[in-house]
Amino acid sequence: MADYKEVIINGIQISREATLTGIQRVYREIILRIDKLKGEDTDVQILYAFCKDSPHNIIKPHELHNIRCIELDVSNRHKAQLFQFPKLVKSRRALSVSFAMDLGCRAKNQIVTIYDLRPVIYKKYDSLRFRVKFYIAMKLAKKYSKLILTDSDYQNAAIRNYFGCKKEKVVTFYCGWEHMNSIEEDEEIFEKYPQIKKGEYFYT
């Protein structure tokens, strides 16, 4: 990030989703933690771009104290994602960062987050149209993104294997590890749910 004085976080995707998903919850926690950490670092300006007047914004401007908010006044959020946001990033010569898997953004100087390759690996869960769009977006992410973030070593390996990304381009970050550190062990769950066997867990 030494080459950039500004980092713009893309909040368009999560400000247009009516359903609260796991990705949105993770996104919210990440932004709030970055806002807290930003108070200790003044070298880089961090901005958060989101859709103005959207009823689905999971982060309100008053919640952020160190990250500056940019409201995008748009009627069509898809156009904002494809045109307005990349124009904003380019005009400010900033680095674009997304934690919401919004691969539609065309900003070349970007860091994107991919949580899973389900549309590519498991064909029966998504429509053909969505899978094709996802595949093309992944190819663009490989070509233009500075980094691709993912939240597990399993997905890290999958991204590299399916799309031939270089190892140094795909970075794993572990969501919620600090939450796990604060939780005390409670082995009563094995008595409450006997179908769960200690040490035998499944990826879902």
**What CA–CA distance (Å, rounded) separates 179 from 80?**
34
Q: Return the pLDDT at 40.
A: 63
Per-residue pLDDT of the chain (204 residues; tens, 9 = 90+): 557 888 999 888 776 666 667 778 888 888 888 898 876 666 788 999 888 777 777 788 889 999 998 888 766 777 777 788 888 888 888 999 988 776 666 667 889 999 888 888 888 888 999 898 888 888 888 888 889 999 889 999 999 999 999 999 999 988 777 777 777 888 888 888 888 888 876 655
Q: Return the pLDDT at 150.
A: 93
Q: Return the pLDDT at 38.
A: 77
- Coil, strand or helix: which one is 35? helix
- pTM score over 0.85: no
